[in-house]
Amino acid sequence: MTEMVSAFAAAKSSPNMLKVKKKKITKQDLLKDNKMSSSDYNKFENDFLNLSSILNKNKKDKRRNSSSNEKTIEILKKNSPSKKVKKGLTVKINVKSSKLIKTERLRGRPPTPKVPNKVSKSNASSLKPDVEPLNLSGLKTNKSNSKKRPFEDDRQTKTSPSSKKKNNAPGQVEHTEQSPKFIPIRKALKMKLDKNEDSRSVGDETLAWMIQPHSVDHFFKNVFEEKPLYIPRKQNRNYYKDVLSTKQFDEMLQNQRIIFGKNLDVTTFVNDKRENHAPEGRAYPSVVWDFYNNGCSLRLLNPQTFNEKIWKLCATLQECLGSMVGANMYLTPPGTQGFAPHYDDVDVFILQLEGKKHWRVYEPPTKLPRFSSPNFSQSEMKEPIMDIVLEAGDLLYMPRGTIHQGNCLEDVHSLHITISCHQRNSFGDLFSKILNDTIETAMEEDVEFRKGLPRDYFKYAGAIHSDKDTPERNKFMQTMKKLFSKLHEYAPIDDGVDKMAKEFLHSTLPPFLSTNESRRTVECGGEKWNSGAGHVVNRVEFDPGTEIRLLRANCLRMVREEDSLRLYYNTENSREYQEIDSQFLEIEDDFAGAIDHLIESYPNYIKVEDLPLEDEALKFTLVQNMWEKKLILTKAPLESHYD
């Protein structure tokens, strides 16, 4: 089409008739005058009707303020009549009663995931992914004075009385529901990271978004490691929509090398027995969907390896939680259960993404266990302390050791993701790092620990004498108690913390960088090969006034060991758990003060010339080495030089 058509907001009496200003244009007119094919016209008409529904909704929302809004729609037609009307057709809506010019995009529906032909009609519908374009304008919210969080604006819905459960189960945390306006994770993290905020603060705000309306302080003071927390979001089922979908899982299967057993489990739980059906080799989509269609649950063990959005979420949360953060994805067919009742050795946040799942939660037999349980039988289960159905947008937090089991409802599938943390991250684990060294140091420095044991202590010490009360035994026990009380004087607690920090850096994900950050690191800044010119271009140099800071608050640790000073870091880690060995740089003692200055200055930038090193050459040597390992970020992209 080669002209601009000015039309009213809605199509009138006939689908073959478009009512326009001063003139009626029929389908025959368009086909004749503009030489459109019938298929072109049908596509144009479909887009126009989609637009009409948008405008009718807009009109209904504006009716309270104005009863005589005039709307003019300008539809830009393509110059070539032989070309089809494209998805992404730009439509401008000029509303006289509003000062805004809104722009909507008409987009086609992406294809549904490829499912084997044997999938029944009911099951196929349950696999339908979230494919609608993200629409932020359709969420109705009310103003609130609560503090902004990274994935919401400052507007919240009114409390829903129906969201309160009447009979509170023991251990269950109840609250009034609030639904903030949904903001995609990728957009929210980008906004925060581009503002050069402290990565620990971004992590706190990310956790606050995840557990909204509870604050981070409230969570750690009243909930964490103490009791389950259930957060329903009946008014915002899209709250976690941007995290992951069935469609995106299908795309992972098609485009990534996902291996059965290593990355993907295939399970059933029937007649009180769990069975694993995963074969060997790569998980091809047709094979995976055939398992699903036959009632098998799918568990993706490390979605952060294959999905960038989950990587972003976990990498951001690890800065807040101070431990390795991992994820599992579970896709369960309608009417099935994939796993037996059990408890885990990690704290878990369950984010319900699609469908529904019925959860029963039981008191932990051991509080905060170090290891996961074997599977329990149904006959071993007592009355649950929580019996709920999670729907899309809901969250369930469970401390490690909480027994739980989940099963799908008969009419809908379930997709959820678990975010896990605090595995082997207790005071006991810290003590295990320092006790051997503590005893060695005590024996080396205190003669009391080197004195010989009494000649006759076998007569009054040991299990067979444990219930005796004799003077010899009491004296022996008093000596042991005195020595135990002195052990803390020799405990290398800081060395133990450094060992824990090394494990943290070895286990955690590499930091996720926004595009803006990438341009200010070695990842995208600096030299590049120009194939046209046949040589290297974009040479960059640091100068004394270049401002730098650490990439993340917890991306490195300076540790003295084996008569050398080492700088351990996670910026070059794989997204697969401990796939590579611990990464470190051996550095000279002269650099220790400058590195410590960078650590203490974070998140502020400092100039290269202000590093506490006497020799100017050493300043640039340190900065260059840290730059090449992606440990530092410049305040602005480095200026390019061309030879």
Residue 13: alpha-carbon gap to chain centroid: 49
Q: Indicate the residue type of 175.
A: H
pLDDT at 539: 72
pLDDT at 533: 78
Phi/psi at 160 (5° precision): -100, 115
pLDDT at 410: 94
Contact 589, 565 (CB under 8 A): yes
Give the Cα separation of 380 and 401 in Å (integer): 16
pLDDT at 38: 62
Nearest to 255 by CA among 293, 217, 306: 306
Model confidence over 572-622: pLDDT tens digits? 999 999 999 999 999 999 999 999 999 999 999 999 999 999 999 999 999
Give the Cα separation of 496 and 432 in Å (integer): 8
pLDDT at 528: 80
pLDDT at 618: 95
Give the Cα separation of 191 and 187 in Å (integer): 6
The domains located in the chain, with CATH, are 5-109 (no CATH), 173-425 (2.60.120.650), 427-491 (1.10.10.1500), 495-641 (3.90.930.40)
Give the Cα separation of 93 and 62 in Å (integer): 14
3-class SS string, 440-502: HHHHHHCHHHCCCCCCCHHHCCCHHHCCCCCHHHHHHHHHHHHHHHHHHHHCCHHHHHHHHHH
Give the containing element (helix H, strand E) for 609: none
Low-confidence ranges of the chain (pLDDT < 50): 1-24, 64-182
3-class SS string, 135-154: CCCCCCCEECCCCCCCCCCC
27: helix, coil or strand?
helix
Instruction: Give 442's contacts (C-beta < 8 A, 6+ positions apart).
Output: 449, 486, 487, 489, 490
- What pTM, to 2 d.p., does this model score? 0.71
Count of all residues that appear for the chain in the document = 643
pLDDT at 273: 87
pLDDT at 435: 94
